[in-house]
Structure 1
Amino acid sequence: MHLRILTVYTVLIACLVAALAVPFARSYSSHRTGQLLLERRADATRLAELADQAIRDGYTTGLVQEVSRYHRLYGTAVEIRGRDGERVAGGGAWEREPAERALSGRTTGSLPLVTPFGPGSVVIAEPVGRDAQVSGVVLMRVATATARREVAFVWAAVAGGSLIAVACALIAARRLARWILRPVTELDLTTRAIAEGRMDARVRDGGHGPAELRLLERRFNAMADAVSTALERQRAFVADASHELRTP
Structure 2
Amino acid sequence: MRVRLQGIVLTLVALLVFGLGIPLATTIAAGAQQDLFLDRLTDTARFASLAQRPLLDNKPWLLEPDVRRYTEVYGVQVVVVDQDGRPVVTSLGPAAARIDLKSERISDPVHEALAGRRSQPAGLLMPWDSTPLVLAEPVLADGEVRGAVLTVSDTGAERADVLWWWLLLAAGGILAFVLALAVAIPVVRWILKPVKRLDDATGALVASVVSGREAEPVGESGGPPELRQLGRSFDRMAESVSGALAAQRAFVADASHQLRNPLTALKIRLGNLEGHVADDVAAADLEAARVDAGRLHQILDGLLSMARAEASGGELDPVVLDEVVAERVADWSVVGEARDVRLVVDAAGDGVRVRMPPRGAETILDALLDNALKFTAAGTDIRIAVEHDGDRVRLSVRDHGPGLPPEELDRALDRFWRSPAHQNVPGSGLGLAIVSELTAHSDGELELDLPEGGGLRVTMTFPAA
Other-structure match for 2:74: 74
Q: Which amino acid aligns with 2:11?
A: V
Other-structure match for 1:175: 186
Other-structure match for 1:200: 215
More displaced 10-residue stretch of structure 1: 156-165 or 181-190: 181-190
Distance 1:131 1:194 in 2: 99
Aligned with 2:151 (options 140, 151, 158) = 140
- The reply to whether residue 213 of structure 1 matches residue 227 of structure 2 is yes
Q: Which amino acid aligns with 2:130?
A: P
Q: CA deviation at 1:173?
A: 3.0
- Conserved 8 A contact 1:78-1:141: yes
After TM superposition, the runs of 4+ consecutive aligned structure 1 residues lying more than 3 A away are 91-94
- Conserved 8 A contact 1:44-1:126: yes
Q: Residues 59-117 of structure 1, C-alpha deviation per residue, up to 9 Å, x if partnerless?
A: 22321121111112222111000111121200355411111111122221202321211
- Conserved 8 A contact 1:119-1:144: yes
Q: CA deviation at 1:134?
A: 1.3
- The reply to whether residue 98 of structure 1 matches residue 148 of structure 2 is no
Q: CA deviation at 1:130?
A: 6.3
Distance 1:34 1:14 in 2: 29
Distance 1:170 1:193 in 2: 32
Other-structure match for 1:41: 41
* Aligned Cα root-mean-square deviation (Å): 2.0
Other-structure match for 1:226: 240
- Please state whether the residue corresponding to 1:129 is helix, strand or coil: strand
- Please state whether the residue corresponding to 1:84 is helix, strand or coil: coil
- Conserved 8 A contact 2:81-2:89: yes
Q: Which has the higher contact order (CA 8 A, sep 6+)?
A: 1
Distance 1:67 1:201 in 2: 89
Other-structure match for 1:61: 61
Greater share of residues in strand: 2
Q: Which amino acid aligns with 1:100?
A: H
Percent of matched pairs sharing the same residue = 38
Greater share of residues in helix: 1
- Please state whether the residue corresponding to 2:222 is helix, strand or coil: coil
- TM-score calculated relative to the size of structure 1: 0.91
Structure 1 unmatched runs, 5+: none
- The reply to whether residue 7 of structure 1 matches residue 18 of structure 2 is no
Q: CA deviation at 1:177?
A: 2.8
Q: 1:130 to 1:8 in 2, by over 3 A?
A: farther
Other-structure match for 2:438: none
Other-structure match for 2:16: 16
Looking at CA atoms only, which structure, 1 or 2, has the larger radius of gyration? 2
Q: Residues 175-226 of structure 1, C-alpha deviation per residue, up to 9 Å, x if partnerless?
A: 3332332222101211232233232311131231x33322221111111111
Q: Which amino acid aligns with 1:188?
A: D
Distance 1:213 1:119 in 2: 59
Structure 2 unmatched runs, 5+: 91-95, 263-465
